[in-house]
Amino acid sequence: MKEDLPPLPEFDLYGFTPYRLAVAAKRTSEELARQYRERFGISIPEWRVLVHLAHSGKVSVRDIEARVAMEKYEVSRAAKRLREAGLIERRENPDDRRLVILSLTPKGRQMMAELLPLAQSHQTALEARLGAAFDQLEAGLEALLKETE
């Protein structure tokens, strides 16, 4: 006997902002990822760790996971692969032995010196695709990313 299930309300998935943001983020991220995957053999999580280290210098795994919206296991896995490749180094935090500090090695800095111009070129291309709407998008993203109190 078929249960009486409530009817589903109408819902426009393709007009749902969180869905559209997620799809747009994945697509634009993947466009750049194809370039650095082919040229440098790194994954999106590895890119995120590397670019955060290039931007921030020496930081903890905890800081990276908080800033780049990755789970701890993703950051740890990416960091392990990057260490094995000689691109980052890991040190114990002298102030808190529970925390690990990551930083780029000279080899990692050299790779980022080549990779960051690719990322900037990708940014420039995105801005050109968006044209006049870019400033509005930036303002909207800023509002969404602002930490709520």
Q: What is the CATH number of domain 14-143?
A: 1.10.10.10
Segments in the chain below pLDDT 50: 149
At residue 145, the pLDDT reads 86
At residue 149, the pLDDT reads 45
Sign, Cα dihedral of 70, 74, 80, 83: negative
Closest by Cα among 63, 114, 64, 108 to 89: 108
Domain segments of the chain: what residues?
Answer: 14-143
| Integer CA distances (angstroms), 61 to 68, 75, 87, 125, in order | 11, 7, 15, 31
Q: What angle do CA 71, 101, 118 make, to 5 degrees?
A: 70
At residue 59, the pLDDT reads 85
Strand partners, 100: 92
At residue 101, the pLDDT reads 87
At residue 1, the pLDDT reads 52
At residue 2, the pLDDT reads 66
> Could you give the CA distance from residue 94 to residue 69 in angstroms, rounded to a whole number?
26
Burial 35-50 (b: 16+ CB within 10 A, else e): ebeeebebbbbbbbbb
The DSSP bridge pattern shows strands 59-60 and 100-104 to be antiparallel
Residue 64's Cβ-count burial label (10 Å; 0-12, 13-18, 19+) is buried
